[in-house]
């Protein structure tokens, strides 16, 4: 009997409006409210609402045999509240079934774990409280933004009280070993690690509608056959992907929704497969080995590293400049400043600045509102520069008031 662990990432960034140099000092509203509302409502109608209703139906049909898990960024939850509250209702309905696990992550879907441990911890705690407030469950398993992980990050997560963490089954780390087992952190062995089976996950997330793929079309029967192949090693099959795969990245016309509709029944009918949440998997199986990752990995691109966000000078300049502002932000402690500070940390902003695939015009352009990484950098830095001026002025005024007092 093998265990299928299904995990879906749910995130929509708050997109910046086109912010010119001449706006600086005059306009302190940075978001494209029209785009954010339209995109959220579009994805809600194409993916979140129909898929949540389908999953609820599948859980009712299969009793406690069908299990799934989600991580929903705090930024996404904010937008659900503003633009699509009915989505939260459907997630709450799923939470009540007891068959859905909600994972913790960074509130702002940020890269804080790569630069500032205090900020990382603060966002994790804020996200945990948000999930508990919205869905009535306190997360016990963790997934970092884009599955970013290192031995040190895992140690921090364990010290925060989490017993389970998800990350990428990166080949350059695993070598000959299989991702289909539970592993443990190299520093704190109490933290169990679930590793994404990137091939089987990407067969659904990226290759499903590719007519040039040698396995096209992908049917439930074919896929379940792969999962039950006697030569498939391991105890678990971790299928981790963006939730927007279903209905948005892969449109309904591709058959992706029907694939998900019949997958649970097809898998359970074999009597060789079961479904479990990440925490259930971690309780059931003991680690087979230590997973050594001295440098950060992620689920992004072929390299499975963090160069999608911090691979060039533009990205690093914007990233470092942003986090140099943290002490002043915390000193002022303004709700308005904290709000802007959080959405400026979204990993998406730095992703848009990536040059590594710009010449290819590949799938990444689908998610990018900018015509070039340079345009993304300039727009972000214009916003950041104005925000920095506002923060600096407030900080200086606060210091002057303190001296006067």
Distances (CA, A) of 17 to 282, 342, 370, 376: 43, 16, 11, 11
Extract the tokens encoding 247.
């209905």
> Structure tokens of 186?
């190299």
Catalytic sites, residue numbers: 146
DSSP classification of residue 47 = I
Residue 42 corresponds to which tokens in the numbers above? Answer: 């579009």
> Rounded to an integer, what distance in angstroms lies between the CA atom of residue 247 and that of residue 333?
40
Q: What is the dihedral of CA 322, 328, 333, 339, to 10 degrees?
A: -10
Pairing mode, strands 2-10 and 236-242: parallel
Region label for 337, one of left (φ > 0), alpha (ψ between -120 and 50) or beta (otherwise)? alpha
CA–CA–CA angle 393, 399, 400 (5° rounding): 90
Q: DSSP letters along 378-403, please?
A: HHHHHHHHHHHHHHHHHHHHHHHHHH
- Give the Cα separation of 44 and 200 in Å (integer): 26
DSSP tag of 248: T
Length reported for the chain: 405
Between the CA of residue 385 and those of 180, 347, 362, what are the distances in Å? 46, 18, 31
Close Cβ partners of 248 (under 8 Å, ≥ 6 residues apart): 43, 46, 47
Say which residue the tokens 């912010």 belong to.
Answer: 19
- Token pair 């017993």: residue: 163
Q: Which residues are within 8 A (CB) of 113 and not within 5 positions of it... i.e. 6 or more apart?
A: 106, 120, 144, 145, 148, 153, 156, 296
Does an H or E element contain 183, and which?
strand 182-185
- How far are the Cα atoms of 72, 93, 402 from residue 89, in angstroms, in the given order? 14, 6, 46
Structure tokens at 182: 């539970």
The residue among 49, 96, 10, 62 whose CA lies nearest residue 276 is 62
């Amino acid at each position: 009997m093998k265990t299928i662990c299904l995990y879906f990432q749910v995130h929509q960034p708050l997109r910046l409006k086109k912010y010119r140099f001449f706006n600086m000092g005059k306009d302190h509203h940075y978001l494209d409210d029209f785009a954010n509302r339209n995109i959220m409502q579009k994805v809600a109608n194409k993916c979140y609402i129909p898929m949540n209703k389908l999953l609820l139906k599948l859980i009712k049909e299969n009793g406690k045999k069908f299990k799934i898990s989600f991580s929903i960024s705090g930024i996404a939850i904010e937008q659900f509240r503003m633009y699509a509250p009915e989505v939260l209702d459907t997630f709450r309905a799923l939470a009540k079934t007891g068959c859905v696990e909600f994972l913790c992550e960074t509130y702002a879907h940020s890269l804080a774990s790569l630069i500032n441990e205090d900020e990382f911890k603060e966002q994790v705690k804020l996200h945990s409280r948000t999930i508990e407030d919205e869905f009535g469950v306190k997360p016990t398993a963790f997934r970092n933004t884009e599955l970013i992980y290192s031995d040190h990050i895992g140690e921090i997560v364990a010290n925060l009280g989490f017993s389970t963490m998800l990350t990428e089954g990166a080949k350059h780390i695993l070598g000959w070993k299989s991702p289909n087992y539970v592993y443990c952190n190299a520093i704190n062995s109490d933290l169990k690690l679930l590793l994404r089976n990137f091939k089987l996950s990407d067969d659904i997330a990226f290759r499903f509608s590719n007519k040039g793929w040698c396995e096209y079309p992908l049917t439930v029967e074919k896929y379940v056959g792969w999962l039950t192949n006697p030569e498939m090693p391991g105890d678990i099959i971790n299928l981790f992907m963006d939730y927007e795969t279903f209905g948005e990245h892969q449109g309904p016309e591709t058959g992706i929704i029907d694939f998900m509709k019949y997958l649970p029944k097809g898998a359970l009918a074999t009597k060789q497969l079961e479904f479990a949440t990440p925490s259930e998997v971690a309780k059931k199986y003991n680690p087979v080995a230590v997973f050594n990752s001295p440098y950060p990995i992620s689920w992004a691109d072929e390299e499975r590293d963090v160069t999608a966000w911090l691979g060039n000078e533009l990205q690093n300049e914007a990233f470092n400049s942003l986090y140099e502002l943290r002490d002043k932000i915390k000193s002022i402690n303004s709700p308005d400043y904290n709000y802007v500070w959080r959405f400026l940390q979204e990993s998406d902003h730095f992703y848009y600045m990536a040059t590594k695939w710009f010449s290819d015009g590949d799938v990444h352009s689908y998610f990018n509102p900018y015509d070039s990484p340079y345009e993304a950098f300039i727009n972000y830095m214009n916003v950041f520069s104005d925000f920095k001026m506002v923060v600096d002025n407030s900080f200086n005024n606060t210091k002057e008031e303190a001296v006067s007092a």
